[in-house]
Every structure is written in structure tokens, then in C-alpha cells.
Structure 1
Amino acid sequence: MNGNELKKWVIENNIKQRTIESFWRCFEKYKVESPDEYDEYFGLFDKGSLTIWTDKIALKIMNWDTFYEEYNENHEFIEAYLKLEYKNKYIGYYSLLFNFSGETFDDYFVLE
């Protein structure tokens, strides 16, 4: 897959919007599952003070030394990254993993 093919795939699979929607679902779960950490980072949360943007979308091949030629979504996938800024300060990122069919199979919400 070259850069133009990746761009086309991103548009056809609505990756940017789906990643943002998935982030908000993850954020709501985080609020409930980690209330102390949530309060530490966000206190009285002001949605207008949270800026999220698509930083990059990348084709990734993991475990290169054990990589086999046939496609395996655990080794070869597309990763969409959102950077997170709260009250004008970088606080972390959200990453959503897609197989080549456009289905999600994992995500990461990392606060730094």
C-alpha cells in the first residue's frame, strides 16, 4: 500500500471520524472506570478546553523478525493517532487500530 492508496482507504473507511467517535466512547468509559485519575487530569471537565486532532495515520508492521508473508492483523494494520491537548497543554494521545477490512480490533488511551 502506498501513500495514495492509504489516503483513499482512510477516506473510504471514514477513519478520521470513526477514530474521534471511538475516542469519545473510550473517554466516557475512562471517566467511570478510573475516576481518581480522571479527576487528577481533568477535574471539573470543560469539553471546550479539550483539543483533539488527527496527528497521523500509519501502516504498521509489528514483530518484523517473526513476520510472515501472508497478512495477519496482529502484525500488519493501520493505526490512527489523535493527539490530546487540555487547557493548551499536551496531555497524551488516543490510538485506534484497524485491519485492512476497516474493522477496529484494539485501541490505546495514553495520558502522559
Structure 2
Amino acid sequence: MNNIELESWIGTYKIMDRTLEGFWVAFNNYLKECPEEVSLFFDELNLEDIKPSIDTIEYKTIFHPDYQIADSYYSQRVISTLDIYYKNNRIGYYSMFFYTNGECFDDSLVTEWTGWYITLKLEALIDLQQEIKNELAKNKIKEDEIEKIYNLIDKQISKIKSQIHN
């Protein structure tokens, strides 16, 4: 498929619209299925601040050495990828995979909220908060001591979350 054929194919099968629709379905499923991951980074996620943007639509011919058929129906595919932005920060990408007859055969949502270091730091602080609550429940630490420590940790969590969102 050359560039002119690809452009026509994209319009015929409404690939851009379908990719955007697919993204919102996948993203809403992600929000429902992984609320703990979302709440790790957001006290309140505003969906209006999520801005998907089509990045690439590319035609690929896949050659698999076991089948040695580069011209089969299954070896010809188009991949549509969009970047996901939250408050102008790239937080991941979404891809849809199509056969040349326009059939979508797969999709993929990848979140990249932030670098690993800050993610691990945030998770550690949240785990520490939970441990403190558990110790308080067991009456192993006095409530006034817990409150001071808890507030310090809460400030650190807020600081990290603000770094993520800016």
C-alpha cells in the first residue's frame, strides 16, 4: 500500500475516528479496572484534561520466517497510534491494529504516568501511611505521634503528586 492508497484507506475505514473511540473505551475500562493505580497519581482525575492526539498511522507488512508468506491477509496491517496527554504532559499512548479490510484485531493502552523513581517513592510513602494506620489500630503507637508522622507523609505525597501534574 503506497501513501495515496493508505490515505484513502484511512478515510474509507474512518481509522482516526475509530482510534479515538477505541481509546476512550479502553481508557474508561482502565479507570474502572485499575482504580488503585489511578488514585496513586490523582486525588481527582478530570477527564476534560485528558487530550488524545493521533501520532501515527502506519502500514506494515509482517514477514514471519515460520510461514514465509509476506503477502497473506494476516501479514498486511495498519497500526494507528495516538499519544495521551494530561494537562499537556504525555502520560502514555494507545494503539489500534487493523487488517487491510478495516477489521480491528487488537488494541493496546500503555500508561506512562511518570518515571519509575518517583512512582516507587510515591508507592513507598503510601505503603508507609498504611503501616502507620495499622500500628495505630493495634495501639502500638500513640495517636498524637501518629498524627505528626502521618501529616509529614501526607505533605510529601501531595508534593510528589503536584510534581506529576505540573
Could you tell me the TM-score, scaled by structure 2's length?
A: 0.61
Equivalent residue of 2:27, what SS? helix
User: Do the aligned partners of residues 71 and 30 (structure 1) sit closer, same or farther apart at CA in structure 2, a change above 3 Å counting?
Assistant: same
Shift of 1:7: 0.4
Equivalent residue letter for 1:30:
Y
- Higher fraction of strand: 1
CA contact (8 A) 2:59 2:76 kept: yes
Partner of 1:68: 69
Equivalent residue of 1:44, what SS? coil
Task: Say which is worse superposed, 14-23 or 55-64, in terms of deviation.
Answer: 55-64
Shift of 1:40: 2.8
Deviations 1:52-81 (A, max 9, x none): 1110100123355454133142x3210000
Partner of 1:46: 46
Equivalent residue of 1:18, what SS? helix
Equivalent residue letter for 1:76:
Q
- Equivalent residues in 2 for 1:21-40 (5 A)? 21-40=21-40
1:102 aligns with 2:102: yes
Distance (Å, rounded) in 2 between the aligned partners of 1:89 and 1:99 = 31
- The answer to which structure, 1 or 2, has the higher relative contact order (CA under 8 A, 6+ apart) is 1
Aligned length: 111
Equivalent residue letter for 1:88:
N
Distance (Å, rounded) in 2 between the aligned partners of 1:41 and 1:61 = 38
Larger Rg: 2
Partner of 1:87: 87
Shift of 1:38: 2.1
Unaligned stretches of 5+ residues in structure 1: none
Shift of 1:92: 0.8
Equivalent residue letter for 1:9:
W
Equivalent residue of 2:94, what SS? strand
- Higher fraction of helix: 2
Unaligned stretches of 5+ residues in structure 2: 113-166
Deviating runs (4+, > 4 A) in structure 1? 63-67
Could you tell me the TM-score, scaled by structure 1's length?
A: 0.88
Partner of 1:59: 59
Shift of 1:41: 4.2
Q: CA RMSD in A?
A: 1.6
